[in-house]
Amino acid sequence: MTDLTLSPDDIATAVDAALKEDVGSGDATTRATIPADARLRGSFRARGPLTVSGLPVAAAVFERCGDGITFEPVLADGATAEAGDVLAHVEGPAEDVLTGERTALNFLHLMSAIATETRRYVDAVEGTGCTILDTRKTLPGLRALSKYAVTCGGGTNHRMRLDDAILIKDNHIAVAGGIGEAVRRALAADTGLTVQAECDTIEQIREALAAGAHSLLLDNMPPAMLRRAVEVVDGRVPLEASGGVRLHTIHEIAATGVDYASVGAITQYLPAIDIGLDLDG
């Protein structure tokens, strides 16, 4: 489990693709209506409560739209904001700023929504000792940004890619001929990666432990069964609850004693986040 640092390469890849998608050969409306020498200054404001994420990405958008743009963050990623709070200022040639406005806002909306939803889950498990994890259920092409946003909300990253760790799931188990056999094969492969096994039953937990799994993913187990799993494992390996975790159930799940709860919803089912660019003066 790691906390992702957003790299310049991750930002550049996402921003370049987004601008190509949105701008094409140029902003026809702005070119047709705005004087070439016009300048503007504006403020990105929260329209409601949120946890901030995506300011470095918004800055990169404007860097690519024109050399004369200045982007000044007021808050930092991970900060909380209320309605009316200024997240950042932008100033420069009006044509360049307006060309990048929607792309910058799209990144801020998406990433702040993920951070805000993650924060709700993190707050809901406070005091239980359980850590909120993300999953690989992210928008294609935007995984690095999405997982970075999770860390802005106080969550922790699970696997970034399939090569980060071995996670033996139900289809692996079926093809391998059982959970014990799948774990033994994974360990024998000697990859140096941690081996986690997905368990649906208490019997599978016992088999995976006996085979030497480093950690267990407890799939779609109700709270009573999670508590039983915690008793059976007795601290020998970390336990992760997964499957169908929602905000209204997360505290009860966390209180069973599991070490982690992985939540696909924090990168899939996002709250509406509204951030606008208001012109100053």
Catalytic residue of the set 85, 198, 207, 240? 198
Question: What span, in angstroms and rounded, lies between the C-alpha atoms of 203 and 200?
Answer: 8
Is residue 147 part of the annotated active site? The answer reads no
DSSP, res 235: T
Residue 130 gets which letter from DSSP? P
| Annotated catalytic residue, options 20, 31, 39, 169 | 169
Q: Which of 47, 136, 137, 206 is catalytic?
A: 137
d(CA 114, CA 82): 16
CB 29 within 8 A of CB 255: no
Q: Is 198 a catalytic residue?
A: yes
Q: How far is CA 280 from CA 41, 102, 109, in A?
A: 6, 18, 21
Query: Counting Cβ atoms within 10 Å, is residue 231 exposed (0-12), middle (13-18) or buried (19+)?
Result: exposed
Catalytic residue among 91, 164, 200, 219: 219
Closest CA to 107 of 273, 264, 279: 273
148 Cβ contact partners less than 8 Å away, ≥ 6 residues apart: 4, 5, 6, 10, 53, 111
Q: Please confirm, yes or no, whether 102 is among the known catalytic residues.
A: yes
Contacts of 204 (CB under 8 A, 6+ apart): 179, 197
The side-by-side arrangement of strands in the sheet containing 70-73 is 70-73, 86-93, 39-46, 275-279
Q: Kindly name the residue from 47, 102, 184, 185 that is annotated as catalytic.
A: 102
Which residues does the annotation mark as catalytic? Answer: 102, 137, 169, 198, 219
